[in-house]
Structure 1
Amino acid sequence: MKVFLDDERLTPEGWHRVYWPDEAIELLDTGAVEEISLDHDLGDDARGTGYDVILWIEEAVALRGFRPPKIIVHSANSPAADKMRAGVLAIERLAATNSFPERDGT
């Protein structure tokens, strides 16, 4: 499954649209997400941002051996996008220390 977290942009064909971090996290927790694309600003910071999803993935990788999906940051908020990309790099470093079987022979 491909998950697209955004409050305004059109959902790309073949992607499952979610509007809030808790929705994205619920899907990630199933283990069925192979790719996720994240916006940062979602219209209500009290409900969370795309960075909250990054933090959840990082914690899940570090503490539970969660296998992260491919993560794309598509936020137009440059400082927030940079912060999110730094989180993605941290996730990739953590995941590299874990041993995962190849997904679908790739």
Structure 2
Amino acid sequence: MNLLNIIKNNDTNELERYLKKHDVNEVIQGQDLLTWAVYLGNLGFTKLLIEKGAIVNKKDRLGRAPLSIAAFFGFVDIARLLLDNNAIIDAMCMDRAYTGWEGHIQTDILDLFREHDWDCVYLDDLRDIPEGFTGARTIEDAIYLIENKRLHILSLDHDLGMDDKGNLLPTGYDLVKYICQKGLRPANKIHIHTDNVVGRENMYQTLIAAQRRGFIDDDIEIYHYPLTANRYSGGSF
């Protein structure tokens, strides 16, 4: 029987017989067996192939590992199984969870990745926190997350309100200066979503200059525009 039909028919016994004559990491139509099992959403076959020695982090010709495929389709149980067997979360996994199948943000996958210390952070004192992000209302909140998590996306506001005495709180620009002074890698991608034109330009140019001078990693993607539409409903978070 054709392997893809075996997987589609969920025939575990036939797969066991197939593996007695074929390498568990065999490539069929450009994909190895584990990738096919994940792509077709077959949890049982994924488990069996891992038990038989399938390479969990093997990438296909497009650079996709099985975990990134599970993330794209929102296969939470398969993603959890892969992670339990030493699958590696990387930038592609985060990207594919955030822009999943038919444009869906795979929030359950992102929640799972948070358990493994990967996150996306949105710094803003008032706006609604976008789907798929963890909110930081102050730069202290943001610094804690930057220093204790692996961030894929960091989205920055500039003005962060006042304290109870009417004094302006540290701004997103203060956070940018802290990042550059400390030589931190705050995230794989930084977006600036503030409506403060001057603040946006200051943050962007400071980050670009720090990158040019080698103070922060040169592969960090820096964008002077928001990733998502700014929204404010007046609610708490």
Same fold (TM over 0.5): yes
* TM-aligned CA deviation for residue 68 of structure 1: 3.6
Partner residue of 1:74? 193
Distance in 1 (alpha carbons) for counterparts of 2:146 and 2:210: 14
Are 1:5 and 1:38, in contact at CA under 8 Å, matched by a contact in 2? Answer: yes
Partner residue of 2:208? 89
Partner residue of 1:55? 177
* TM-aligned CA deviation for residue 53 of structure 1: 1.1
Extract unaligned runs of 5+ from structure 2: 1-118, 220-237
* TM-aligned CA deviation for residue 47 of structure 1: 2.6
Distance in 2 (alpha carbons) for counterparts of 1:41 and 1:67: 22
- Structure 1 residues 22 and 2, CA gap change in structure 2 (3 angstroms): same
Are 1:39 and 2:161 matched, yes or no?
A: no
Higher relative contact order (CA 8 A, sep 6+): 1
Partner residue of 1:18? 136
1:89 match: secondary structure = helix
Distance in 1 (alpha carbons) for counterparts of 2:120 and 2:210: 18
Runs of 4+ with >6 A deviation: none
Q: Mean Cα displacement is larger for which, 83-92 or 20-29?
A: 83-92
Distance in 1 (alpha carbons) for counterparts of 2:146 and 2:130: 19
% identical aligned pairs: 34
The code of the aligned residue for 1:26 comes to Y
Are 1:57 and 1:91, in contact at CA under 8 Å, matched by a contact in 2? Answer: no
Report the TM-score when normalising by structure 2: 0.37
Distance in 2 (alpha carbons) for counterparts of 1:92 and 1:53: 15
* TM-aligned CA deviation for residue 18 of structure 1: 0.9
Q: How many residues get paired?
A: 93
Are 2:154 and 2:186, in contact at CA under 8 Å, matched by a contact in 1? Answer: no
Are 1:71 and 1:88, in contact at CA under 8 Å, matched by a contact in 2? Answer: no
Report the TM-score when normalising by structure 1: 0.78
Distance in 2 (alpha carbons) for counterparts of 1:43 and 1:68: 22
